[in-house]
Amino acid sequence: MRAAVYYGNHKLEVEDIPEPTTGDGQVKVRVSRNGICGTDLHEFFDGPIFISPSEPHPLTGKAMPVVIGHEFSGVVTEVGAGVDDVHEGDHVTIEPIYRCGECRPCRTGHYNLCNSVGFHGLMADGGMAEYTVVPRNQVHHLPDSVSLEMGALVEPMSVAYHAAGLAEVNDQSRALVFGAGPIGVGLWFALRGMGLTEIDVVEPSPTRRASIDKLGARTLDPTADDVAGIIAERTNGDGVDAAFDAAGVEASVESALTCLGERRPLISVAIYEKPLSTSLINLVLRERRIQGTICYTADDYRAVIDLMAQGHYDTQGWVETIPLSGVVEQGLEELRAGRRMKLLVDPTA
């Protein structure tokens, strides 16, 4: 079968490799679409970071080379012994987390923080291939009303949904999202799904603003608009009930902290590459907080799939599909250049 195999920095080869076999408790999936994540860009251009060059992962036993791809949907082609609730032909999306089940985070329901956490597509051969095999507990069914294209977006949309959940908002809340990349778009969908109607999205890139504008979002341009002044006016000086940093830059964090109401959270869903200069006094004087968030658990997957089934998400204008053969030139490099928003790879093309 064809697959995109990662051999290290700037080395991603589309090549023929043997089809994986289905072990006990496992499910084999013919991949329909696999999204390219920011993590994949980091591995290609700056990595290896999460992918281990040689040390086998404690849960998967796998190191480089590895088939990348952890955002995918597909159709079940085979199930292993002991799997009786997933069947050939089922449309599924994959929650790619391997977890030990024994550490404190696992025992307390937060396996996204498992001390030995692994990801299908980073620490095991992933979804940028015609076929992949996953453990049963990574499989979520897609209802008929959710397309396989949409199903490939459940993973990044669940990252955003989980982040939104940590903000403790309700349908009367006002929110401010920094960054209109795929996670920013996902935050907007998630917050809308939670009933919020007062959401502003702050994004300096005109193309990204245009994408989310078309979905119906209200946007601000931090290079032209007085964000703090506009938010103060819109909230009668109270500030927003939640802010989200999906941009990962110092200016967003600083701006967010000045726009937040008292005792309200700034949710950090960005991968900060280096320490930021942060005005903690802005936290102290108003009892605000900065809350980190990463990944998701099955609850987030279920909630996102439900919202998708209700027609709540839209791929129009921000999601495109490319062939596996173009994963580097049409995929990673276009994304890195900021010319594309979200790209799904079709492994059969």
Which residues sit at the interface with a copy of itself, rule CB under 8 A? 104-105, 110, 112-113, 115, 166, 237-238, 253, 261-263, 265, 268-294
Nearer to a copy of itself, 147 or 235 (CB): 235
Residues in the chain, overall count = 349
Nearer to a copy of itself, 158 or 293 (CB): 293
What values do phi and psi take at 305, rounded to 5?
-60, -40
Residue 142 is classified by DSSP as P
Cα distance between residue 249 and residue 235, in whole Å: 24
DSSP state letters, 47-107: --SSS-SSSPPTTT---SSEE---EEEEEEEEE-TT--S--TT-EEEE--EE--S-SHHHH
Cα distance between residue 129 and residue 348, in whole Å: 8
Nearer to a copy of itself, 81 or 285 (CB): 285
Strands 174-178 and 198-202: parallel
Q: Residue 272, Cα to own-chain centre: how many angstroms?
A: 15
Nearer to a copy of itself, 92 or 246 (CB): 246
Strand (E) or helix (H) holding 141: strand 139-141
Nearer to a copy of itself, 84 or 287 (CB): 287
Residue 263 CB, nearest approach to a copy of itself (Å): 6
DSSP state letters, 7-34: EETTEEEEEE-PPPP--TTEEEEEEEEE
Residue 104 CB, nearest approach to a copy of itself (Å): 5
Residue 280 CB, nearest approach to a copy of itself (Å): 5
Nearer to a copy of itself, 286 or 312 (CB): 286
Residue 164 CB, nearest approach to a copy of itself (Å): 14
In order of 167, 188, 252, 317, the CA distances from 216 in angstroms are 22, 10, 22, 12
Nearer to a copy of itself, 10 or 107 (CB): 107
Residue 183 CB, nearest approach to a copy of itself (Å): 12
Cα distance between residue 139 and residue 301, in whole Å: 10
Residue 342 CB, nearest approach to a copy of itself (Å): 21
Residue 86 CB, nearest approach to a copy of itself (Å): 30
